[in-house]
Amino acid sequence: MASPVEIRAFMDLSSVFSSRNWPNPKTVDVAGQVSGAQLLELLALPAEMVEVIFVNGKAFTPENAMVCEGDRVALAPPGVPGPYRVLLGFKKMG
């Protein structure tokens, strides 16, 4: 049985959610575990639109992210300004 994952979109990605008439945050049902790439495919978001996937507050590249039932996820596009990259943990991505 699938459980919801809460997904928030930031910067340019929030306008994509808006243009698709999606709420922000959006909930998506996930059964078990999906990779970051699978999540982006489920959302029909091209990989080049997302630089970082935060899973429960920890930053990952889309290739390294794993999302499980009940997780809280945030998507950040390329172009996040320098100081925020450090503060948000981009430098220590898994």
Q: How far is CA 81 from the centre of its chain?
A: 18
Predicted pLDDT at 28: 94
Q: CA-CA distances (angstroms) from residue 52 to 16, 21, 72, 83? A: 16, 23, 14, 15
Whether domain 3-92 has CATH 3.40.80.10:
no
> Quick one: DSSP state of residue 4?
E
pLDDT of residue 22: 97
Give the residue ranges of the chain where pLDDT is below 70: 1, 80-94
Residue pair 69/47 in contact (Cβ under 8 Å)? The answer is no
Q: Whole-angstrom Cα distance, residue 42 to residue 17?
A: 13
The model carries a pTM of 0.87
